[in-house]
Homo-oligomer: A and B are copies of this chain.
Amino acid sequence: MKESWSSVDTLETNFRPLVVIELAKGTKEETIEWFTKRIVDKKTNGGAQLLIKPLVTENGGENIYLVGASHLRLLLGAENVGLVKECNDNSMRAFTYSSRKTFKDFADDNQNFLTMSECQYIIKHELENLRAKDEKMIPGYPQAKLYPGKSIVRRLLTNGILVQIFPLHDREELKKLRHTWYGQVKIGYQPLDEIRCYFGETIALYFGFLEYFTFALIPMAVIGIPYYVFAWEDYDKYVMFATFNLLWSTVILEVWKRICAVMTYRWGTLLMKRQFEEPRPGFHGVLGINPVTGREEPVYSSIKRQLRIYLVSVPFVCLCLYFSLYVMMIYFDLEQWALDYHEENKSNFSSLMLYVPSIIYAVVIEIMNRIYRYAAEFLTSWENHRLESSYQNHLILKVLVFNFLNCFASLFYIAFVLFDMKLLRQSLATLLITSQILNQFAESLLPYWLQKRYMKKMKERMHSLKMDTDLSLVEQVNSEKEMGTYFGTFDDYLELFLQFGYVSLFSCVYPLAAVFAVLNNITEIYSDALKMCRVYKRPFAEPTANIGVWQLAFETMSVISVVTNCILIGMSPQVNALFPDSKMDLILTVALVEHLLLAIKFVMAFVIPDKPRDIQIKLAKLEFESLEALKQQMFTESYSYLCDDMREQ
């Protein structure tokens, strides 16, 4: 059987395993044969022309296959996915095989021209674009329907025949990366370029943002410390701090766009053309004609989806929001009870009890956030969005609204209904610190500990099998396939988003928040790095040019924080003392200042260019060149026509 799907390419001696495919146990022989044949088949026959080898283990095949590709195949694939690489003249250009000699570090025998994660991304792309031709179903599984153009891998995944596809770690590289990243105790930047080479742009950009954001918080933290130390309560100092914060938060978000552009230009993703978006794997519907592609594919009525959104999802979200507010009211009852208890008893225990409601509430909030997250994912996938991007947007919107209310409703209530600044400060501190501790624990330490325990077990089993202790490829694959899957940067960004809320929304009441945020983020960098390198399977690289919808989310938060801070300052007794006669003047002044600040924010966001000047020039240069090339081509064509025309006359 193995001979039938080995082509000329498969015989290549230097087969380098890049991606692992795990099929379900008991997958039928004919299915395996058909699938592997499609993978190695020539491009002209509709195959992917990749290399595949079964992983031979001691106790027989476990339906695990290793996928690789010839060097040439990978280069052509790089052209196909539109990879952008650096040229000899230091400009970034889309890689094409015919112009390969002009690229930096390119040599026909240089296997490292493409990084391993790029190779894996190419293979993933090729596998996902392996499409059914005239098959009506997956051989051996009549219920797994196919139609011309349907991605085979996606159908195999949705039908559970394909358990998972994941890229292999490169143990040598990983070791080096771990060392430079968090292996040594030093103060300095993260090795973002190395992270990008190993994990891809999306993850590198997250770590870049985390680092940038931490640095950006330092001025706020530094200014905040004396407020706490000297217990400054002067009105002018608070106003100064809040104003600084507001302008600062606008500046850092705008500057981030520029830094992001510089980074993604260097990585080539800023120039990468957007690929046509295929339906997401989970999308289902009756077969119909797609109006855009003209192809047969599942079609789902937009009206049905709208009905699902507005009649089910929206009411559900509202109900959850109501429930969250209800829980908040219970918290305030508890708080009151604890206060009464303390008043009555005045013991050490009772003063400790004062903090208990807040801690319980923080834990409950975290739990509710996590449960709601699952519900939101379920609902959004039930809404049956055709595109991954639209699914993501609806999911993010649902989760953000709930998380925002859940985390900040009690603070808003304390600030603007109870007017209790002391309680606000105390709640803010408790919420911030508790949620940070919980997050660090649930995100990294717990999985790390589980992973450690599992590895220990594995090793014991291995030893009992009396195999050599040096981890072979088989062992590597077997250990990696059991590792957890990293589901993307969503949770990490969400955590930063909420942290930004704690820091900026009530910054003038609790200047110390920034200090805690900075401390948390420094450990966060390490625990996230540990998580990526040790706990999870290697994720596929995802090229991206920016942090997407999170930019908008952070900007919205910074607009809201202008409003809250202005109100807080207006409510402070020091400011009230300035307008002893007329509350009205006070409110009008505050409103005026707020509008001015908002106007300044918008003007600043408008005036600061999103890309630095040199990047702008480089982009303009590329655009100019492509236009010139087009013109040249047209000119040659039209010249031939004009010559013909003259000859005729």
Decide if A98 touches B587 in the complex (CB within 8 Å). no
Does chain B have a CB within 8 A of A80?
Answer: yes
Which of B9, B43, B639, B642 is A72 in contact with, Cβ under 8 Å? B642
Whole-angstrom distance between the Cβ of A85 and the nearest chain B Cβ: 16
Decide if A43 touches B97 in the complex (CB within 8 Å). no
How would residues 258 to 298 of chain A score, 1 for a CB under 8 Å from any chain B CB and 0 otherwise?
00000000000000000110000000000000011110000
A631/B80 contact (C-beta < 8 A), A70-B645, A639-B44 known: yes
Q: How large is the interface on A (under 10, 10 to 19, 20 to 34, 35 or more residues)?
A: 35 or more
> Most B CB atoms within 10 A — which of A70, A76, A293, A649?
A76
Does chain B have a CB within 8 A of A320?
Answer: no
Whole-angstrom distance between the Cβ of A633 and the nearest chain B Cβ: 11
Does chain B have a CB within 8 A of A621?
Answer: yes
Closest to A606 in B: B552
Decide if B645 touches A292 in the complex (CB within 8 Å). no
Decide if B627 touches A275 in the complex (CB within 8 Å). yes
Does chain B have a CB within 8 A of A176?
Answer: no
* Interface set, chain A 75-99, CB cutoff 8 A to B: 76, 79-80, 97-98
A72/B584 contact (C-beta < 8 A), A80-B631, A634-B79 known: no
How would residues 634 to 648 of chain A score, 1 for a CB under 8 Å from any chain B CB and 0 otherwise?
110111011001100
Does chain B have a CB within 8 A of A595?
Answer: yes
* Interface set, chain A 594-649, CB cutoff 8 A to B: 595, 617, 620-621, 623-624, 627-628, 631, 634-635, 637-639, 641-642, 645-646, 649
Residues of B within 8 A of A257 (CB): none
Residues of B within 8 A of A70 (CB): 645
Bound Cα distance A621, B635 (Å): 28
- Residues on A facing B (Cβ under 8 Å): 8-9, 42-44, 49, 70, 72-73, 76, 79-80, 97-98, 275-276, 291-294, 563, 583-584, 587-588, 591, 595, 617, 620-621, 623-624, 627-628, 631, 634-635, 637-639, 641-642, 645-646, 649
What are 20 inter-chain pairs, A to B, with CB distance below 8 A?
A9-B646, A43-B635, A43-B642, A44-B639, A49-B642, A72-B641, A73-B642, A80-B638, A97-B637, A97-B638, A97-B641, A276-B623, A292-B617, A293-B621, A294-B621, A563-B595, A583-B583, A587-B587, A587-B588, A587-B591
Q: Rank and list the top 7 A-B pairs by shortest CB-CB distance, nearest first.
A: A76-B638, A292-B620, A292-B621, A583-B584, A587-B587, A276-B627, A291-B617
